[in-house]
Amino acid sequence: MPATPALPSYASGTSDVPLLGDTIGDNFDRTVAAFGDRDALVDRDPGKRWTYRELAADVDTLAHGLVSTGIGKGDRVGIWSPNRAEWTILQYATAKIGAILVNINPSYRSHELEYVLNQAGVRMLVAAESFKTSDYAGMIEQVRPKCPGLEYVVLLGTHSWAELMDAGRGGDPALLAKLQAGLSADDPINIQYTSGTTGFPKGATLSHHNILNNGYFVGELCNYTEADRVCIPVPFYHCFGMVMGNLACTSHGCCMVIPAPGFDPKATLAAVAAERCTSLYGVPTMFIAELNDPDFATHDLSSLRTGIMAGSPCPVEVMKQVIDRMGMAEVSICYGMTETSPVSTQTRADDSVERRVSTVGRVGPHLESKVVDPESGLTVPRGTPGELCTRGYSVMLGYWEEPDKTAEAIDAARWMHTGDLAVMDDDGYVNITGRIKDMVIRGGENVYPREIEEFLYTHPDVLDAQVIGVPDAKYGEELMAWVRLREGAEPLTTEAVREFCQGKLAHYKIPRYVHVVEEFPMTVTGKVRKVEMRQQSVTLLGLEQVAAQRHA
């Protein structure tokens, strides 16, 4: 008898729970009606808290304020700020009137800000005045003359924010209801910029349907109810914060807890203890910092039940410690990308510890996953490596005003090609084994080497530059630049390169290591062999032990 052919690497997420068909505003109103008196939002830094009814009042006031300035459906409103309550209030206010929220990474510097404001056509920018080393107000002033479409700048905590809120007080609820009723769940509602291989970020455009359902089903797989309190130290500008965090909470009536504006391990542990959080989010770097905090043992984390670790490969030992020492018995690993709203696969609470430390789970409800041969595009048999693709409600509408780039990422059958190499086992669990593209994931931030290479080319002494990711115990990966210098140039130090990048590139895009070479390793066809460069770099930097660490 002929052998039975192996199952294809394809899986679909069946579910008894239907997809949500409403807009974010309508879904939020439903939660407010059901859980009005329950805690909705706690912002620990200024010590403010809101019930769902109080949060709804502020959201509606801000929505009226936006309308009073002429902001309406389809207009782009930028948000450039670390985590704070106003970020969340603006997220829901823009959703209620159909304005498209444009998330701007708080680490961006002036040239990145200018590009995003112009590319998205941002009419209003809401921003913090400053945070840590970032003078947002100063950078906005610098780029404003070069952004003709930018009509309004509102700085949080200043007169301009108070004015915007005041303008919305006493607004007609019937007007807001009418605007809300005119929206479709398939309308674009959010643009998130992801580092681009062409040197500039691309704006992944997401609908109500995309992100509301993704937040909802991530919350479903974490078994959220209105009794849950979720500590969100991950940034709101990223899907991890605003979708898996905020939308997972508001679609279930949970409480959102902001431990601090930026990640702080002490503040996070203190927030979990004081607010009796049942769930905690983070990239592996964050959990490592919390577990290693000298005062870790003094915090009562007994309320924790679950949480999510995602954003970069999760070290097995860290995952085990999170379960054992933090009591997060039901902790989940999620995998995805901004372009898929973001989660495609997730481990379940009833998965074995081995599954949860060695895979990124299986396909989410109402989604499809497959692993294909990158050359032929055909689905490979289970157990065979290939490129992971995902399809379903979560796939973005496209890259903002970049149809060619969209067509490169999403094929004619609406499969999103992730560029990640993966293996699907017989039970449908996925293991990420590498990347087809050269993308580096540093502490949960996606970095495309091409963008940094393009920038390094502007250095007067650099003839050519190649940027790679090398293993790092703290961030998962760190950036290393291999550079060839122009004839007669002075030797170039790592410090000099970092100084050249300072203030012009976001901190996580600045190479940690610099290696000056005469030539790059090349293939016979003249392509740079980055794989070989990585191998050499591991030896060169003495990172063999870090490289050998097991990840899910």
What the block records as the tokens of 30 is 């439903």
How many Å apart are CA 187 and CA 199, to the nearest integer? Answer: 28
Residue the block writes with tokens 């995902």: 390
Contacts of 369 (CB under 8 A, 6+ apart): 10, 11, 12, 344, 345, 362, 363, 388, 389, 390, 391, 424, 430
Q: Tell me whether residue 434 is in a domain.
A: no
Note the pTM of the prediction, 2 decimals.
Answer: 0.85
What the block records as the tokens of 466 is 């190649």
Q: What is the pLDDT of residue 219?
A: 98
> What angle (nearest 5°) sits at the alpha carbon of residue 332, between those of residues 329 and 336?
170
Helix (H, G, I), strand (E, B) or coil at 314: coil
How many Å apart are CA 108 and CA 235, to the nearest integer? Answer: 13
How many Å apart are CA 201 and CA 77, to the nearest integer? Answer: 18
Q: Tell me whether residue 148 is in a domain.
A: yes
CB-based burial label for 1 (10 Å; 0-12, 13-18, 19+): exposed
Tell me the residue type at 411: D
Dihedral over alpha carbons 247, 92, 287, 193 (to 10 degrees): 100
Q: Tell me whether residue 314 is in a domain.
A: no
The total of other beta-carbon atoms located within 10 Å of residue 159's CB is: 10
What the block records as the tokens of 432 is 């990420």
Phi, psi of 246 (to 5 degrees): -60, -50
The CATH number of whichever domain residue 479 belongs to comes to 3.30.300.30
pLDDT along the chain (552 residues), means of 10: 82 97 98 98 98 98 98 98 98 99 94 96 98 96 98 98 97 97 98 72 96 98 98 96 98 98 97 98 90 96 97 78 96 95 96 87 98 93 95 98 96 95 95 77 82 88 90 93 91 94 94 94 69 92 88 61
Q: Which domain holds residue 503?
A: 440-547
Q: Tell me whether residue 269 is in a domain.
A: no
Would you put residue 86 in left (φ > 0), alpha (ψ -120 to 50) or beta?
alpha
How many Å apart are CA 84 and CA 468, to the nearest integer? Answer: 34
Q: What is the pLDDT of residue 197?
A: 41
Q: What is the pLDDT of residue 272?
A: 98
**Could you tell me if 202 and 402 are in contact, meaning their C-beta atoms sit under 8 angstroms apart?**
yes
The CATH number of whichever domain residue 64 belongs to comes to 3.40.50.12780
Q: What is the pLDDT of residue 182?
A: 98
The total of other beta-carbon atoms located within 10 Å of residue 21's CB is: 13
**Could you tell me if 92 and 24 are in contact, meaning their C-beta atoms sit under 8 angstroms apart?**
yes
**Could you tell me if 268 and 240 are in contact, meaning their C-beta atoms sit under 8 angstroms apart?**
no
Helix (H, G, I), strand (E, B) or coil at 46: coil
| 3-state DSSP helix/strand/coil % of the chain, to nearest 5 | 35, 25, 40
Q: Do the bridges between strand 332-336 and strand 306-309 make them parallel or antiparallel, or are there none, so unpaired?
A: parallel
CA-derived radius of gyration, the chain: 23
Q: Tell me whether residue 217 is in a domain.
A: no
Q: What is the pLDDT of residue 526?
A: 58
Task: Report the domain count for the chain.
Answer: 2
How many Å apart are CA 336 and CA 244, to the nearest integer? Answer: 11
Helix (H, G, I), strand (E, B) or coil at 121: coil
Q: Tell me whether residue 499 is in a domain.
A: yes
How many Å apart are CA 324 and CA 42, to the nearest integer? Answer: 27
Q: Tell me whether residue 249 is in a domain.
A: yes
Instruction: Report CA torsion sign: 217, 220, 222, 225.
Output: positive
Q: Tell me whether residue 98 is in a domain.
A: yes
